[in-house]
Structure 1
Amino acid sequence: MAAEKNNGKFQFEISKREKIFFPQEGYTKGDLIDYYEKIAEVMLPHLEERPVTMLRFPNGIEDKRFFQKDEPDYFPDWIDTIEIEKQEGGTTCYVLCNNKPSLIYLANQACITPHIWLSKKDTPDYPDRMIFDLDPSEDNFQEVKSAAGIFRDFLMEKLNLPVFLMTTGSRGLHLVVPLKPEKDFDEVRDFAQEITHYLEKQHPEKFTTAARKNKRENKLYLDVARNGFGQTTVAPYAVRPLAGAPVATPIDWEELAALDSAHKYNIKNIFRRVGKKEDPWKNISAKAVKLDSAVKKFEELSAKQKE
Structure 2
Amino acid sequence: MADALTLTAPGPEGQPREVRLTSPGKVVWPATEHGGAITKADLAAYLTAVAEPLVRGLADRPVTLQRVRDGIEGEIFYSKNPPKGVPEWVRTTMVTYPSGRRHPQLVVDELAGVLWAAQMGTVTFHPWPVRTGDNDHPDEIRIDLDPQPGRVYADVVEAARGLREVMVEAGLTPFVKTTGSRGVHVFAAVAPRLEFLEVRHAVIGLARELERRMPDLVTTAWWKEERGERIFVDFNQATRDRTLAAAWSPRVLPGGPVSVPLTWDQLDEVGPGELTVRTVPAWLREHGDPWADLHAAPAQVDGAHALWEADVERGLGELSFPPDHPKMPGEPPRVQPSKKVAEHWDEQGNRVGDGERRQAEAD
TM-score, normalised to structure 2's length? 0.78
Residue of 133, 141, 145 corresponding to 2:153? 141
Task: Give the equivalent residue in structure 1 for 2:174.
Answer: 163
> 1:297–1:213: structure 2 CA closer, same or farther, 3 Å change rule?
closer
Task: Give the equivalent residue in structure 2 for 1:151.
Answer: 163
**How far apart are 1:254 and its partner, in Å?**
1.3
> 1:257–1:89: structure 2 CA closer, same or farther, 3 Å change rule?
closer
Larger radius of gyration: 2
Q: Which amino acid aligns with 2:155?
A: E
Task: Give the equivalent residue in structure 1 for 2:111.
Answer: 100
Q: Residues of 1 paired with 2:132 and 2:22: CA distance?
A: 30
Q: Residues of 2 paired with 1:207 and 1:185: CA distance?
A: 24
Answer whether contact 1:58 1:109 (CA < 8 A) is retained: no
Q: Residues of 2 paired with 1:132 and 1:250: CA distance?
A: 14
Q: Residues of 1 paired with 2:203 and 2:308: CA distance?
A: 11
Task: Give the equivalent residue in structure 1 for 2:350.
Answer: none
Q: Residues of 2 paired with 1:177 and 1:13: CA distance?
A: 36
For the aligned residue pairs, the C-alpha RMSD in angstroms reads 2.3
Residue of 291, 298, 313 corresponding to 1:288? 298
| Greater relative CO (CA pairs within 8 A, separation 6+) | 1
Q: Which amino acid aligns with 1:18?
A: G
Q: Does 1:228 align with 2:239?
A: yes
Q: Residues of 2 paired with 1:55 and 1:106: CA distance?
A: 10
Q: Which consecutive unaligned segments of at least 5 residues does structure 2 have? A: 1-6, 317-363
**How far apart are 1:274 and its partner, in Å?**
1.1
User: Comparing 210-219 with 129-138, which one deviates more in the overlay?
Assistant: 210-219
Task: Give the equivalent residue in structure 2 for 1:213.
Answer: 224
> 1:294–1:205: structure 2 CA closer, same or farther, 3 Å change rule?
closer
Task: Give the equivalent residue in structure 2 for 1:63.
Answer: 74
Q: Does 1:174 align with 2:185?
A: yes
1:128-176 residue CA offsets vs partner (Å, 9 max, x unmatched): 11111111013610110110111112221x2232110011111110111
The correspondence of residues 37-48 of structure 1 with structure 2, limited to 5 A, is 37-48=48-59
**How far apart are 1:195 and its partner, in Å?**
1.9
> 1:65–1:301: structure 2 CA closer, same or farther, 3 Å change rule?
closer
Q: Which amino acid aligns with 1:214?
A: E
Task: Give the equivalent residue in structure 2 for 1:241.
Answer: 252
> 1:187–1:99: structure 2 CA closer, same or farther, 3 Å change rule?
same
Answer whether contact 2:171 2:300 (CA < 8 A) is retained: no
Q: Which amino acid aligns with 1:277?
A: H
Task: Give the equivalent residue in structure 2 for 1:17.
Answer: 24
User: Comparing 218-227 with 262-271, which one deviates more in the overlay?
Assistant: 262-271
What count of residue pairs does the alignment treat as equivalent? Answer: 304
TM-score, normalised to structure 1's length? 0.92
Q: Residues of 1 paired with 2:139 and 2:89: CA distance?
A: 26
Q: Which amino acid aligns with 2:49?
A: K
Answer whether contact 2:171 2:299 (CA < 8 A) is retained: no
User: Comparing 192-201 with 290-299, which one deviates more in the overlay?
Assistant: 290-299
**How far apart are 1:294 and its partner, in Å?**
4.6
1:97-121 residue CA offsets vs partner (Å, 9 max, x unmatched): 1001000111111100011101110
Q: Residues of 2 paired with 1:298 and 1:116: CA distance?
A: 26
Identity %: 27
> 1:271–1:2: structure 2 CA closer, same or farther, 3 Å change rule?
closer
Task: Give the equivalent residue in structure 1 for 2:261.
Answer: 250
> 1:287–1:5: structure 2 CA closer, same or farther, 3 Å change rule?
closer
Q: Residues of 2 paired with 1:148 and 1:273: CA distance?
A: 22
